[in-house]
Amino acid sequence: MRILVTGANGYLGTGIVEAILNSGNEVIAVDFNTDHVDSRAKKVACNLFEIENPYEYFGKPEVLCHLAWRDGFIHYSNAHIDDLPAHYDFIKKMVEAGCKHIAAMGSMHEIGFFEGSINESTPCHPTTPYGIGKNALRDLTVMLCKQNNCVFQWMRGYYIVGNSKFGSSIFSKITAAAEEGKKEFPFTLGQNQYDFIDYPDFCTQVAAVVGQSQEQGIINICSGRPEKLADRVERFIKENNYDIKLQYGVFPDRPYDSKAIWGDSTKIEKILNKR
């Protein structure tokens, strides 16, 4: 299949493009610049929101894998609300022109404060502009896909573990600090439990979702189990042989973070087992 991947040069995009290519599908990779994108992809550097007819312009892709999103780690950024109409307009143009398979990246922050396992029926009460923006785009994309008889997949992402220093996650920040030679890293108490998924597994799961159309709706991109933040970060430091120690209790926990939250992995496991 020919799969259009937006946000292809970002932290998630580069690995997802590679995983889709490895699965045997063709990729049109779109971003403001594409210098980190796998050379096997067809690269298009542009502002996708300025393209009048994106479906035609990008070669009539069978699938849209929409990853593009600004300030994903800055949960109170105005961009999450300011950019929402542009995301909606872009997806609307794609489906109305003929793209019949829409897969977009969501976030567990759509849920808001919740404790326990999240499935596709879990009510959403987002509490940050990031969660509110993603939740609104999901509702709008569902509507567009129903109106145009399209495959709808919403890939709800959880906590990604990766050692790229270019990301904005706790793991990227620790990697950057270790490479700078720092010996200590200020930290929370780390008692909250989250669903952690290693970066390569995350990319593989996304590629598996967009490469099929049988499983639709909200699909958790997750490990399916909770783990204490402190335990996962300590393990991450050991896995990468970093000479750095955590300074516990320097920062408070974010008030909107749940004490224990993880994804129900039933649907993604079904997809992976069918490959």
Write out the catalytic residue numbers.
130
What burial letters (b/e) apply to 42-73, b meaning 16+ CB within 10 Å? ebbeeebeebeebbebbeebbbbbbbbbebbe
For 72, list phi and psi in degrees, rounded to 5.
Answer: -60, -25
Q: What 3 state SS string does 172-210 have?
A: HHHHHHHHCCCCEEECCCCCCEECEEEHHHHHHHHHHHH
Kindly report the number of other CB atoms within 10 A of residue 274's CB atom. Answer: 10
Exposed/middle/buried for residue 234 (C-beta within 10 Å: 0-12, 13-18, 19+): middle
Residue 104: enclosing H or E segment and its boundaries? strand 101-107
For 54, list phi and psi in degrees, rounded to 5.
Answer: -60, -35
Three-state secondary structure call for residue 125: strand
Query: Residues 153, 103: contact at Cβ < 8 Å?
Result: yes
Residue 43: enclosing H or E segment and its boundaries? strand 42-45
